[in-house]
Amino acid sequence: MSRSKNMPEVHRRNPFTSFDELVRDMFAGKFLLDRLGDQVQSPLRIEEYVEDGARIIRAEAPGLNPDEDIVLDVSNGILYLKVTRNESEHEQEKSGYRTEFRYGTYERTIELPRGVTADDVKATYKDGILTVRVPVPATDNQTSKVAIERS
């Protein structure tokens, strides 16, 4: 059957393409994180922003003892944040016991600006929030015009 010059060309999509992408994403670990969102993300939530020449990293860490339950390490340009939440003992009542709290060890890694060392990183803990200050070094990537010679 010949196609008329006025008829648009029809492109057929492989019906298995979406399925193939879904399977590939599942095995790459993207499926759970991208498709289920907060339900599978780390319970150690953070926020980051730049303020007064420093990168501020804040982590929710309520009810923790920063001397025992929080570990901060810097290695090879990476900030490692590790929080351990220990379950306290509860007396079970006749009606039963239910908890939605998450207990265990949770870790986050955050890439630091080039040249930052552990001595540059400052951390404070107040009202259940861990605040980490990291200096933002001046960039050496300043734009300079290059002269073009004529030959």
Task: Categorize the per-residue pLDDT at 146 as very low, low, confident or very high, splitting at 50, 70 and 90.
Answer: confident
Number of domains forming the structure of the chain: 1
Residue 22 domain-assigned (yes or no): no
- Cα–Cα distance measured from residue 131 to residue 79, given in angstroms and rounded to the nearest whole number: 13
CB atoms within 10 A of CB 132: 22
Residue 79: exposure state from Cβ atoms within 10 A (0-12, 13-18, ≥19):
buried
Q: Output the domain CATH number for residue 50.
A: 2.60.40.790
Q: Which residue has the tokens 């039963």?
A: 96
What is the domain extent for residue 68?
45-88+98-137
Residue 84 domain-assigned (yes or no): yes
pLDDT digits (tens, 9 = 90+) for 88-113: 655 566 567 776 666 778 888 999 98
b/e sequence 30-66, b meaning 16+ C-beta within 10 Å: eeeeeeeeeeeeeebeeeeeeeeeebebebebeebee
Residue 106 domain-assigned (yes or no): yes
Helix (H) or strand (E) holding 132: strand 129-135
DSSP count for the chain of H helices, then E strands:
3, 7
pLDDT digits (tens, 9 = 90+) for 44-93: 889 999 999 899 999 998 888 999 999 999 998 899 999 988 766 555 66
pTM to 2 decimals?
0.59
